[in-house]
Amino acid sequence: QSALTQPASVSGSPGQSITISCTGTSSDVGGYNYVSWFQQHPGKAPRVVIYDVSYRPSGVSNRFSGSKSDNTASLTISGLQAEDEADYYCTSYTSSSPVVFGGGTKLTVL
């Protein structure tokens, strides 16, 4: 299955908001509300920050929010902080396989 499409990199200054997009098809992102977002710091395992498109797990800052429109999901981080600098991956349930990953986006906090 083809990977979901994410921008390779995004950047923002502390306090600003950024949005990372994740584009798939009607067989994955557009067809199911099972989109997740993962944050990965260098040398660490990924951790989920958004699941089911827009739900935050316990312990995740409310500065993280998710949404979806048609075949594109989005992760927004508001009030950017230095600790948000990391790689971010989206995933979606698909009609042909359990999960497909996005290619990842490197977030730089300027």
Partner 1 sequence: QLQLQESGPGLVNPSETLSLTCTVSGGSISSSSYHWVWIRQPPGKGLEWIGSIYYRGSTYYNPSLQSRVTVSVDTSRNQFSLKLSSVTAADTAVYYCARWTVATLDYWGQGTLVTVSA
Q: Which residues bind partner 1 (CB under 8 A)?
A: 1, 3, 34, 36, 38, 44-48, 51-52, 57, 89, 91, 93, 97-104
Question: What phi and psi values does residue 85 have, to the nearest 5 degrees?
Answer: -65, 120
Asked if 4 contacts 102 with a C-beta cutoff of 8 angstroms, the reply is yes
Kindly state the smallest distance separating residue 98's Cβ from partner 1, in Å: 6
The least CB distance from residue 15 to partner 1, in Å, is 29
Q: CB within 8 A of 98, min separation 6: which ones?
A: none
71 vs 91, beta carbon nearer partner 1:
91
In the complex, the smallest distance separating the C-beta of residue 97 from partner 1, rounded to whole angstroms, is: 7
Nearer to partner 1, 38 or 64 (CB): 38
Nearer of residues 41 and 79 to partner 1, judged by Cβ: 41
What is the maximum span of the chain, computed from C-alpha positions, in angstroms?
40
DSSP 3-state percent helix, strand, coil across the chain (nearest 5): 5, 50, 50
